[in-house]
Amino acid sequence: MKPPHGGKLVYRVDEKKDIDGISVIEINEDVAKDIENIAYGIFSPLEGFMCKSDFENVLEHMRLENDVAWTIPIVFDIENKIREGEEVLLKAKSGTTAIFEVEEVYKYDKKEYAEKVFKTTDIAHPGVKRVMEMKDKLAGGKITLVKEGKEKFEKYYLKPYETRILFKEKGWKDIVAFQTRNVPHIGHEYVQKTALTFADGIFINPIIGKKKKGDFKDEVILRSYEALIENYYLKNRAVMSILRTTMRYAGPKEAIFHAIIRKNFGCTHFIVGRDHAGVGNYYGPYEAHDIFNEFPDLGITPLFFRSFFFCKKCGGVVNEKICPHGKEHHIYYSGTAIRKMIMNGETPPETMMRKEVANIIMSYENPFID
Amino acid sequence: MTEKEGKGKYTTVSIPTPLAEKIKRRIEGTGFNSISSYVTYVLRELLASMEEEEEEVFSKEDEEKIKERLRALGYLD
């Protein structure tokens, strides 16, 4: 199996560690998720929150200080309570508890952070807004997870050391990862199955965590995928597990970040669709494809997909590379249109969405985040 | 492919002048903005292609425990 990013799978968990007397700092659930992702090697090779040199390198060169590709800062913003050289206990309401060895406390420029990562300083961009609301200093240093937080969807919370063994046991060598934050429509299914045709298995990895208003609720996404997999996938060809992290909406840079994460889970290929991790019109529809040209050493192969659509003349699901007919013959799988239908209480037609999936979504009074 | 040599650490590596000239011609009209950015790209690609397979990191006992959990969760038969 391919090695994790940076060569070694990080595992920074010690449930027996003595934490008596260490001063406690409360953290929010976003930070808690980052901590668990670091501790379980999902963010390998990171062993903690970024110190200044890594943070600046990521902004400037999309690489850690040691030249390993990395595009999204993983940082911990703090108030003045934390000092360099001390150990503090970070605790979240969900139960996540970790020791943080504070190596460095440093100032940063929020505008520069936003501009370099999101290519905009527009506060209407949810990622920019989040950065602008951060505290004024960052603290870097290693973390050790002492206690895992509660997870509502525990069954689906697999760690890289588990998926790597799982893939090996299934005899999968070529594993394609599919990132999602949406319920599946027919277009998604075709993308996945087209990729799966050339691989041994597909790893469906929905993002569970803070998203924006109007996105589907986590439970709806998971249950709709359960219905899709149960009814339309071979049991031994598809695995679903969650990725607990916050969507940054950093478009192309987040696409690289998402690919790295899936590499750590043991995947060899990563599907990149249209406007991956984008929001509004901040990124070009295929900018997230182009950025991969800058990373010859990523260690996971991107599979670029343009949208699938239904062609009435072809009589099936096609894409622009294989269908010679004009747009008047096409029916597009628009997530926005499907969302609108559901909001109006209309069940999406079977030409757009599997009935088992649609039934799950329609069974919710409100399937969207308020 | 636009490696900015602003912040960050860099070092100088000598290559034969004719090779540098060849690279200069090779990168004309491409996204590479300097010989350095091209050489960096090629070397990163080469080193990544030489990455070795992952070594076994778990003991047999640990691996068995993980498989048990995967079976309990329904991921393995």
pLDDT band at B6 (very low <50, low <70, confident <90, very high): low
Asked if pLDDT for residue B10 goes beyond 90, the answer is: no
Residues A103 and A242 in one domain: no
Residues A236 and A305 in one domain: yes
Rounded CA separation A205/A207 (Å)? 7
Question: In the listed set A123, A147, A171, which residue is the last one of a domain according to the structure?
Answer: A147
**For chain A, what percentages of helix, strand and coil (3-state, to nearest 5) are there?**
35, 20, 45
Rounded CA separation A69/A257 (Å)? 9
Residue A205 lies in a domain: yes
Residues A33 and A161 in one domain: no
**Interstrand relation of A76-78 and A137-147 (parallel, antiparallel or unpaired):** antiparallel
Residue A195 lies in a domain: yes
CB-CB under 8 Å, B66 with A162: yes
Residue A120 lies in a domain: yes
- CA-nearest of A303, A320, A308 to A199 is A303
Rounded CA separation A176/A197 (Å)? 10
Q: CB B59: neighbour CB atoms within 10 A? A: 9
Residues A176 and A239 in one domain: yes
Residue A69 lies in a domain: yes
Residues A226 and A198 in one domain: yes
pLDDT in tens, A192-228: 999 999 999 999 999 987 777 888 999 999 999 999 9
Residues A182 and A286 in one domain: yes
Residue B31 lies in a domain: yes
Residues A127 and A185 in one domain: no
* Residues of A labelled as active-site residues: 181-182
Residues A214 and A353 in one domain: yes
CATH number at residue A200: 3.40.50.620
Rounded CA separation A101/A305 (Å)? 42
Task: Name the β-bridge partners of A308.
Answer: A319
Residue B63 lies in a domain: yes
- Token output for A91: 């605790």
Rounded CA separation A264/A257 (Å)? 11
Which has more confidence, B48 or A73? A73
CATH number at residue A85: 3.10.400.10
Lowest-confidence region among A102-106, A130-134, A264-268, B56-60: B56-60
Question: In the listed set A147, A178, A205, which residue is the last one of a domain according to the structure?
Answer: A147
Residue B42 lies in a domain: yes
Mean pLDDT (chain A) is: 95
Residue B68 lies in a domain: yes
Q: What interface predicted TM-score (ipTM) does this complex get?
A: 0.87
Residue B46 lies in a domain: yes
A vs B: CB pairs below 8 A: 66
Residues A175 and A305 in one domain: yes
* pLDDT value, residue B8: 65
CB-CB under 8 Å, A169 with B70: yes
Task: Name the β-bridge partners of A33.
Answer: none
Residue A7 lies in a domain: no
pLDDT in tens, A273-323: 988 998 989 999 999 999 999 999 999 999 999 888 999 999 999 988 899
* pLDDT value, residue B2: 47
Residues A345 and A235 in one domain: yes
Residues A284 and A345 in one domain: yes
* pLDDT value, residue B57: 72
Residue B2 lies in a domain: no
> What's the number of domains chain B is made of?
1
| Closest Cβ–Cβ partner in B1, B6, B54 for A294 | B1
Q: Residue B60 belongs to what domain range? A: 17-73
CB-CB under 8 Å, A170 with B58: no
> What's the number of domains chain A is made of?
2
* pLDDT value, residue B49: 87
Residues A131 and A159 in one domain: no
Residue B9 lies in a domain: no
User: Distance (Å) from the C-alpha of residue B42 to the closest C-alpha of chain A?
Assistant: 8
Q: Is A9 on the interface with B (CB under 8 A)?
A: yes
| Closest Cβ–Cβ partner in B6, B57, B67 for A60 | B6
Mean pLDDT (chain B) is: 87
Q: Residue A316 belongs to what domain range? A: 154-362
The residue of chain B with its CA nearest to that of A11 is: B57
Residue B3 lies in a domain: no
Would you say A25 and A17 are in contact if contact means Cβ atoms under 8 Å apart?
Answer: no
* pLDDT value, residue A336: 82
Q: At residue A48, what are phi and psi to the nearest 5 degrees? A: -175, -165
pLDDT in tens, A27-46: 999 999 999 999 999 999 99
Task: Name the β-bridge partners of A244.
Answer: A208
